[in-house]
Homo-oligomer: A and B are copies of this chain.
Amino acid sequence: MNITDEEKKAVYKTIYNRRDTRGEFKSDDIDDEVISRILDAAHHAPSVGFMQPWDFVVVKNKEVKEKIKDGFQVAHDEAKEMFDDTRKDVYKTLKLEGITEAPIGICITCDRSRTGDVVIGRTANMEMDLYSSVCAVQTLWLAARAENLGVGWVSIIHHDTLKEVLNIPEHIVPIAYLCIGKVDFFHDKPELEKAGWLPRLPLEQLVHYDSWENKK
C-alpha cells in the first residue's frame, strides 16, 4: 500500500501539531464513533510477539474523574516539595492536567501475562510488553490529534491510585491515564518550551553515527 506525498505531509502535520493538552479542554461530548476510531487505531499499534497486551478503561463518570483528580492532587503535593526553591515557584504556576474538564479519560494498561510466560521478542528484554502499551498510547494520541482532539497524559498520579479507583486487577499494570476532548486551541509549541522551563534541543546534538562518539 503506497502512501502518497500528500498523505505523508498529513502525517508530518499531525506529528508536529500534537500537543499535551491541559488547560484548553472544552466540555463538549465526543461521539462514541470517534472514541471507537481512536481506540481501534491504538489497538493497531505494534506489540511484541503480537501480544496486544493493552486494555482501555474509558472514563466518563464525573465521580470517577473526581477520584482521579484527588489522586493527582496527592502526587502533585508530593512533587512540589521535590523541586528547589526557584523551580518550585514556577512549578506551582503550571497547569498540569485537565482531568475533570475533559469529557473523557482513557486509562491504558498492560497485561503482562496475556499470552503466557514466554513471548516472542520479550525473551531478552522483559519490558517489551510495557513498551508495546506505550506505542498504543502514542498511536491513540496521533489518531486523536487527527480528529482534532486534545490529549493530555497525566503522569502525576500513583498507579496504585488508578488501580484502586478503576478496579484494575492486581496483575495489570497501568501505563497512562489520558484526558481527551475538544479544545479551544492547540498551542503552537509545547507549553514547557513556551514557559522557558527547557528549550528544544538541537537535533544534531542527539544524532550519532555508527558509534556514540561520532557526531556530524
Contact = CB atoms under 8 A, between A and B. Distances in A.
Contacts of A167: 211-213
B118 A82 contact: yes
Given A64-B210, A130-B131, 13 more contacts: A1-B186, A6-B6, A7-B14, A8-B147, A11-B11, A50-B190, A52-B201, A78-B124, A124-B155, A134-B135, A142-B142, A167-B213, A169-B212
Interface in A176-205: 176, 186, 188, 190, 192-193, 197-198, 200-201, 203
* Copies of this chain, tallied across the complex: 2
A49 B7 contact: no
Interface in A57-100: 57-61, 64, 75, 78-79, 82-84, 87, 91, 94, 96
29 contacts: A1-B13, A3-B17, A7-B13, A8-B146, A11-B14, A11-B146, A12-B146, A15-B41, A39-B203, A43-B201, A45-B138, A48-B155, A52-B206, A56-B208, A57-B209, A60-B210, A64-B210, A78-B124, A79-B124, A120-B192, A121-B156, A124-B158, A125-B159, A128-B155, A131-B175, A134-B134, A134-B138, A138-B139, A166-B208
B206 A56 contact: yes
A141 interface: yes
Given A10-B10, A210-B61, A212-B168, A3 B46 contact: no
Given A11-B142, A15-B143, A75-B124, A193 B50 contact: yes
A13 B18 contact: no
A211 B64 contact: yes
